[in-house]
Homo-oligomer: A and B are copies of this chain.
Amino acid sequence: MTTDEKNERISLKAGEIKPFGAMPVPKVTPELLSTVRSGEVFSLEQIVETGVPFWEGHPPIVISPYVRHGDMPELAPASVGNEITTLPMHGGTHIDALSHIGQWKDGEIRLHGNIKVKDVMGKGGYAALGAENFPPIIVKGCLLDVAGCQGVDVLPDSYGITSEDLKNCQEKQGTEISEGVAVLIRTGFSKYWKTENERYSNCGAGINIDAARYLAECKVAMVGTDTEAVEQWPFDPEGPPLPVHTYLIVENGITHVESLYLEKLAEAKAYEFLFVALPLRIRGATGSQIHPIAIT
């Protein structure tokens, strides 16, 4: 495949909205709007700033105020300020594009939809499944407060959340997981955000492969957590690496939202809501920082 052919594949244009894996083209139906009762809005984003946790090997967030008020006296009496923001994936609240995870099969890496990595990967990022393909996300959301249901403020380090844990939590909360829903799972790990960054990044509670299978059977549209990896970290050393990422993203087209802030939502016992997230349409990227909200 030549660069020209690759470029041709990078075809999504401004204004176009298509499904992206399990995430549908949004349609704001009366049924969906019925999830809005009080009309209150919850912000589920951690503040984007220097000093937030990130995986070893990734560069940190850098916010560099390179033009400051007063720098351009020729504009007086007006003045302007600007900055450059360098954002790595896995810094801050973000969503994984389907191009983020691949799987080796028959000597080649394939992405969701059996797309060969070598056909779409290049200097401009990914010619398929990049973040520009995200539709606006407007779906029914539900919160499973697993930590709360187990009576703790935070789950133990590296705790593997099972399908049983999810079902027990659903029962306690009275929460149904219907098709197309965005499931947000609370572990309580926000407690370690900026206070114990290494613990946040390296010891996260998260779902195991059994819970991932259960969520895929429920046909959820998306899974989000208040941790850095969605899945139990580290993953079970006996099994293959990144089992949950691989199973959900590559095999099922179900994206992940990581490092959510869910504390106030859990305090309010707001288990069902309208979930809205608007990923930046970054051409060829493997994800995007987002500011997701819940409307209750």
Interface positions of A (Cβ within 8 A of B): 1-4, 12-17, 25-30, 32-33, 36, 39-43, 45-50, 57-60, 62-90, 92, 99-105, 109, 111, 117, 121-126, 132, 135-136, 138, 190, 193, 240-243, 245-246, 261, 263-264, 276-286, 289-293, 295
A255 to chain B minimum Cβ distance, whole angstroms, is 14
Identify which of B33, B42, B281, B290 contacts A36 (C-beta below 8 A): B33
Pairs A–B under 8 Å by Cβ, sample size 26: A1-B73, A14-B45, A30-B39, A43-B136, A48-B280, A48-B281, A48-B285, A50-B283, A59-B59, A63-B282, A65-B124, A65-B286, A69-B109, A70-B109, A70-B117, A75-B242, A77-B105, A78-B241, A78-B243, A79-B109, A82-B89, A85-B282, A86-B86, A87-B87, A136-B293, A278-B292
Identify which of B14, B76, B78, B285 contacts A85 (C-beta below 8 A): B285
Q: Say whether A283 contacts B62, CB under 8 Å.
A: no
Query: What is the CA–CA distance of A97 and B70 in the complex, to the nearest angstrom?
Result: 17
Q: Say whether A278 contacts B280, CB under 8 Å.
A: no
Closest to A67 in B: B123
Identify which of B3, B27, B111, B295 contacts A39 (C-beta below 8 A): B27
Closest to A5 in B: B73
Identify which of B26, B81, B243 contacts A286 (C-beta below 8 A): B81
Query: What is the CA–CA distance of A190 and B80 in the complex, to the nearest angstrom?
Result: 25
Residues A81 and B59 in contact in the complex (CB < 8 Å), given A47-B14, A241-B76, A278-B278: no
Closest to A37 in B: B28
Q: Say whether B241 contacts A75, CB under 8 Å.
A: yes
Q: Say whether B65 contacts A79, CB under 8 Å.
A: no
Q: Given A33-B33, A80-B245, 4 other A-B contacts at CB below 8 A?
A: A47-B281, A76-B104, A77-B105, A78-B101
Q: Say whether A261 contacts B15, CB under 8 Å.
A: yes
Query: What is the CA–CA distance of A42 and B14 in the complex, to the nearest angstrom?
Result: 10
A192 to chain B minimum Cβ distance, whole angstroms, is 13
Q: Say whether B64 contacts A66, CB under 8 Å.
A: yes
A279 to chain B minimum Cβ distance, whole angstroms, is 6
Residues A286 and B41 in contact in the complex (CB < 8 Å), given A12-B47, A74-B4, A122-B71: no
Residues A284 and B49 in contact in the complex (CB < 8 Å), given A77-B104, A80-B100, A136-B43: yes
Q: Say whether A280 contacts B45, CB under 8 Å.
A: yes
